[in-house]
Amino acid sequence: MTTLAGRTALVTGGSRGIGRAIAQRLARDGARVGVHYGSNEAAAKETVAAIEADGGQAFAVHARFGAPGDAETLWAAFDTQAGGLDILVNNAAILGVPAQIQDVTAAAYDEIFAVNTRAPFFVTRHGLRRLRDGGRIVNIGTMLTRGSAMPASVTYAMSKGALDVLTTMLAKQLGPRGITVNTVAPGVVDTDMHEGRLVGDALAWLSSLSPMGRVGVPADVADTVAFLASDDSRWVTGQWIDVSGGTLL
């Protein structure tokens, strides 16, 4: 497929899990993909190599989110390898240690918001002057912000709720430029973020939450992002798209 031929994409947290699947799918559709990573350089290189082995184009971009000047660091690295942007996918995030409100420390709260909320806000802010008219912004959210309360994920859900607001505000602001902005909201997805948790009774219970009878896989999310990155989604903006396999039904 060459639906994104000639376009440049940046996927934050693109070295592993959902981010890797998104980067690979966008590359298969013809985009040249910047694969951002925070700490795992080897994983980023593996993702770039996999894309190139499949005939695509990619490059790695390093910036540790949560550190001072993280967004500026990211774009400085990006600018050395690309001359503009067409697709921005704000995917990078951390779950943190599951805890209900009474057990959340100030340090844990600050870390989650620094990575999941502040970083994508300023990555987007600085990215807007690089994003070409007709571009795409896709924020990776969570089903936990809409009717699926899990008290042990309160800080994670709150941090992603801010991205829901960012989506609607930017969709209104950037519409005149032909830029669409949408949120993709996964449910539980089998990635290394959940390593050791999706086994036995826990896996059976989580699978039972979806009418499909399983948990998600990264490609389930990546394929939805690919639609939103394409011209086929030109009349879709400001939307929160449930990609949880019907868990919220």
Two tokens, residue 82: 């690309």
Catalytic residue of the set 37, 75, 78, 156: 156
In three-state secondary structure terms, 216 is strand
Question: b/e for 180-204, b at 16 or more Cβ within 10 A?
Answer: bbbbbbbbbbbbeebeeebeeeebe
- Taking the C-alpha atoms of residue 89 and residue 137, their distance in angstroms, rounded to an integer, is 6
Residue 248 is classified by DSSP as T
156 is catalytic: yes
Catalytic residues: 156
